[in-house]
């Protein structure tokens, strides 16, 4: 027979378990493996609205919304294999149709042999919990959106100083994304240094965690971003506390003040410039009341800032110039700027001051003209200097007129004297030729008719007389040519240069043949505007020199061709030789009259040929020159107007 005590013990345990199940706040439901409800406690009645009589014997699908019908089948299949399903969150439906959010724990029920014969399901109503979580989530999202939307950078850290949140502005300024920065120590993400020393600055979050109070950054703090860019910042760090005032974190709020810092520096510099400027810098309202007055204004006008500020600007305007101020104000009201307006102002001691004014409108933040800025430069010294310069210029002008007249008079006398000298030299040269020819003629007759009466020495003397007379005749002839070039009229006309050159070469035929010279004339030589006879004389001297001034050991080679003119509208003709050349320091001297670089025995001549060339070319409106090196030949050129 069963032991009564054992039966009673089992009964008491079952009764105790039934009481626990019945008094539990969670719905505890027993089910067969086909989903039929076999037990239903009071909490189940309360949560789902069905009584025990209504629920027991029904399929558990009674509680499952249509959108989750397949869910229960899967759970029972898992439990039938002996698996336990814990804290499975889902939705169930009450008798009145309301949906209930539940957390399910489903366990298998086994018989004494261990076989799964049913299912035990504990359903906890988590609707209120979910609602609270949604409120928290919504609140957190609202705070996140709010913090992400504000213009300041925000970083939150936990009690250990590790990053828990960053808004987009903080991401931009630090160079870290929130995902990269999470759980990083704040000093690694928020790297701050002193602007002046570049030394590390103590992180304000550490002070907050230490003292639990709001902390601000020191002045001149720089945030060094991840990429190396630096921002001047202003910030504060505050503790985050829970409902019980327990410190649970720190929030750091900061913003970029780089532009403001630069503006402040610029403003300080501007103030320093104004104070140290040599010009008076004054500001005034549109009704003319002085609002600022720098040190140079004190120096120039004699009033201190205390005496001037608040007074009307007419304080420094002389009585005869009072009408200037309304006209200036009218222009300023139109937004115009007055530049370098020269006028006179009066100092405190009554002294008149010449000044140059530059006046600009002052605008407020809305673009309205609210005043004027006036820069006054003391030009008293400059005006005195201008008067002195004007007096000096007047004196100089008078002296210049007198000097010009004196120069004109002297030039006229020199021209008359020059003409007289040229006429005299021409007459002398002309008159000398007659006796020279007589001497030459009589000497030649003596040699022809009385040669037998002369000994060798006499004949040599007579021959020297003939050579000297011929040389003197050539010299006189060149002097006459030079004189004619100086005073004769030279009518200019188109001249075919190639024709003249060919004629000159024919005329120089004996000299060319005697020296075994070759003369090469390039085709296409340009026509020029000149005097044909003078042009022929110029070329005769140039080609004759090219044949003559050559080392006797080599035959002369002369090339005549067109060169590149240095002046537009002119033509250049070049006479190139292979002669002895000319050192650079002597190239200007060779055009002087009677200037010779070599002895007459080696290279005979009068020393006037190149002077004739230069004078003739100048008279025809052109210029001449030479390019030469010793032993490398010379290139003499003339440039004349192109026909």
Last-in-domain residue among 488, 516, 543: 488
Question: What is the rounded CA–CA span in Å between residue 622 and residue 529?
Answer: 10
Across 427-451, b (16+ Cβ under 10 Å) vs e yields eebeebeeebeebbeebeebbeeee
What CATH number corresponds to the domain at position 175? 3.30.450.20
Query: What DSSP element (H or E) covers 284?
Result: strand 280-285
Tell me: do 402 and 366 sit in the same domain.
no
DSSP string, 11-39: HHHHHHHHHHHHH-SSEEEEEETTSBEEE
Please indicate, yes or no, whether residues 398 and 355 belong to a single structural domain of this protein.
Answer: no
- Residue (of 140, 456, 211, 451) closest to 202 by Cα position: 211
pLDDT beneath 50: ranges in the chain: 10, 599-601
- CATH at 439: 1.10.287
Report the C-alpha dihedral over residues 126, 132, 133, 138, rounded to 10 degrees: 150
Out of 488, 505, 539, a domain closes at 488
pTM: predicted TM-score of the whole model, two decimal places: 0.35
d(CA 442, CA 462): 10
Rounded CA-CA distance 108/141 in Å is 41
Q: Is residue 267 part of a domain?
A: no
- Phi, psi at 569, each rounded to 5°: 85, 5
Contacts of 131 by beta carbon, 8 Å cutoff, 6+ apart: none
Phi, then psi, of 510 in degrees rounded to 5: -60, -45
Average pLDDT over all residues of the chain: 79
Question: Which whole-number Å values give the CA distances from 361 to 325, 333, 338, in the listed order?
Answer: 14, 8, 9
104 shares a domain with 149: no
pLDDT at 414: 63
Tally of domains in the chain: 5
Residue 269 included in any domain: no
283 beta partners: 292, 373
Collapsed DSSP state (helix, strand, coil) of residue 518:
strand
Q: Based on the fold, state whether residues 503 and 483 are members of the same structural domain.
A: no
> Is 438 in the same domain as 495?
no
Q: Is residue 439 part of a domain?
A: yes
The contacts of residue 222 (CB under 8 Å, 6+ apart) are 192, 193, 194, 195, 198, 230, 231, 232, 233
Q: Which of 41, 33, 15, 25 is nearest to 73 (CA)?
A: 33
Angstrom CA distances, 547 to 362, 624, 625, 627, stand at: 85, 19, 18, 17
CA angle 635, 491, 535 (to 5 degrees): 20
In-domain check, residue 350: yes
Same domain, 520 and 620: yes
497 and 515 in one domain?
A: yes
Q: How far apart are CA 141 and CA 130, in angstroms?
A: 16
Given 469, 488, 507, the domain boundary residue is 488
Residue in the structure block whose two tokens are 């400059």: 382
Cα 638 to Cα 610: distance, rounded to the nearest angstrom: 12
Question: What DSSP string describes 173-192?
Answer: HHS--HHHHTTSBHHHHS-E
| Residue 445 counted as domain residue | yes
Question: What does the pLDDT look like over 107-143, one tens digit per residue?
Answer: 898 888 888 888 888 888 888 777 766 665 665 556 5
Assess if residue 477 is contained within a domain: yes
272: in domain: no
- Looking at the fold, whether 579 and 618 belong to one and the same domain comes out as yes
User: Within 13 A of 564's CA, how many CA atoms are on the CB side?
Assistant: 0
Residue 98 sits in the same domain as residue 198: no
- Radius of gyration in angstroms for the set of CA atoms belonging to the chain, rounded to a whole number: 61
Quick check: is 518 in a domain?
A: yes
Q: Mark whether 479 and 496 lie in a shared domain.
A: no
| Domain coverage including residue 470 | 380-488
Looking at the structure, tell me whether residues 252 and 146 fall in a common domain.
yes
What is the model's pLDDT at position 398? 81
Question: CA-CA distance, 183 to 640, in Å (whole number)?
Answer: 93
Distance CA 573, CA 539 (A): 10
CA–CA dist 353, 281 (Å, integer): 15
Note the pLDDT of residue 602. 55
- Both 478 and 555 in a single domain? no
The C-alpha angle with vertex 102 and arms to 96 and 105, in degrees rounded to 5, equals 130
Q: What is the C-alpha to C-alpha distance for residues 210 and 203, in angstroms, rounded to an integer?
A: 11
The position carrying tokens 């002309």 is: 430
Q: What distance in Å separates the CA atoms of residue 268 and residue 274, rounded to the nearest whole number?
A: 10
Can you spell out the DSSP letters for 253-280?
A: EEEE-HHHHHHHHHHHHHHHHHHH-SSE
- The structure tokens 């199940």 sit at 21
């Amino acid at each position: 027979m069963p032991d009564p005590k054992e039966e009673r013990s089992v009964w008491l345990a079952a009764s105790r378990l039934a009481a626990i199940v019945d008094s539990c706040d969670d719905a505890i439901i027993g089910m067969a493996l086909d989903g039929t409800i076999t037990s239903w406690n009071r909490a189940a009645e309360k949560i789902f609205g069905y009584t025990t009589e209504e629920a027991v014997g029904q399929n558990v699908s009674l509680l499952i919304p249509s959108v989750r019908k397949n869910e229960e089948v899967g759970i029972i299949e898992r439990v039938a294999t002996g698996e336990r399903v814990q804290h499975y969150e889902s939705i169930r439906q009450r008798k009145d149709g309301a949906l209930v959010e539940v957390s399910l724990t489903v366990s298998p029920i086994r018989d004494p042999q261990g076989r799964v014969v049913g299912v035990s399901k504990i359903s906890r109503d988590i609707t209120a919990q979910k609602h609270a979580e949604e409120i928290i989530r919504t609140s957190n999202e609202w705070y996140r959106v709010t913090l992400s939307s504000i213009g300041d950078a925000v970083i939150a850290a936990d009690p250990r100083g590790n990053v828990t949140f960053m808004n987009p502005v903080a991401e931009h300024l630090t160079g870290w994304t929130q995902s990269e920065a999470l759980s990083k120590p704040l000093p690694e993400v928020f790297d701050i240094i002193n602007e002046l020393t570049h030394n590390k600055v103590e992180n304000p979050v550490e002070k907050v965690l230490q003292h639990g109070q709001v902390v601000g950054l020191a002045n001149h703090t720089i945030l060094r971003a991840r990429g190396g860019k630096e921002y001047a910042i202003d910030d504060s760090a505050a503790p985050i506390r829970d409902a019980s005032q327990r410190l649970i974190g720190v929030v750091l709020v900061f913003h970029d003040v780089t532009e403001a810092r630069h503006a402040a520096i610029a403003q300080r510099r501007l103030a320093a410039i104004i104070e140290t400027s040599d010009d008076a810098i004054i500001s005034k309202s549109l009704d003319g009341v002085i609002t600022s007055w720098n040190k140079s204004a004190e120096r120039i006008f004699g009033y201190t800032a205390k005496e001037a500020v608040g007074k009307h600007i007419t304080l420094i305007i002389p009585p005869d110039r009072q009408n200037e101020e309304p006209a200036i104000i009218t222009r300023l009201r139109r937004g115009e700027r007055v530049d370098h307006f020269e006028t006179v102002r009066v100092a405190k001691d009554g002294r008149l001051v010449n000044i140059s004014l530059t006046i600009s409108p002052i605008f407020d933040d809305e673009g309205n003209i609210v005043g004027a800025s006036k820069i006054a430069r003391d030009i008293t010294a400059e005006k005195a200097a201008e008067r002195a310069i004007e007096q000096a210029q007047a004196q100089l002008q008078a002296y210049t007129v007198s000097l010009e007249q004196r120069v004109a008079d002297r030039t006229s006398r020199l021209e008359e004297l020059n003409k007289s000298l040229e006429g005299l030299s021409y007459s002398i040269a002309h008159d000398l030729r007659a006796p020279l020819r007589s001497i030459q003629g009589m000497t030649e007759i003596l040699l022809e008719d009385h040669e037998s009466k002369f000994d060798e020495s006499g004949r040599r003397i007579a021959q020297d007389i003939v050579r000297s007379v011929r040389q003197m005749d050539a010299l006189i002839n060149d002097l006459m040519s030079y004189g004619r070039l100086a005073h004769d009229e030279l009518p200019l006309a188109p001249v075919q240069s190639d024709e003249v050159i060919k004629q000159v070469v024919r005329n120089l035929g004996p000299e060319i043949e005697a020296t075994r010279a070759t003369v090469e004339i390039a085709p296409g030589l340009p026509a020029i505007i000149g005097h044909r006879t003078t042009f022929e004389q110029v070329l005769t001297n140039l080609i004759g020199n090219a044949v003559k001034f050559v080392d006797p050991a080599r035959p002369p080679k002369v090339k005549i061709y067109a060169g590149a003119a240095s002046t537009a509208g002119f033509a250049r003709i070049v006479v190139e030789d292979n002669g002895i050349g000319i050192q650079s320091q002597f190239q200007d001297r060779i055009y002087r009259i009677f200037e010779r670089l070599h002895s007459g025995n080696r290279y005979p001549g009068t020393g006037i040929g190149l002077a004739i060339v230069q004078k003739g070319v100048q008279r025809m409106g052109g210029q001449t020159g030479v390019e030469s090196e010793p032993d490398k030949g010379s290139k003499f050129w003339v440039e004349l107007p192109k026909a």
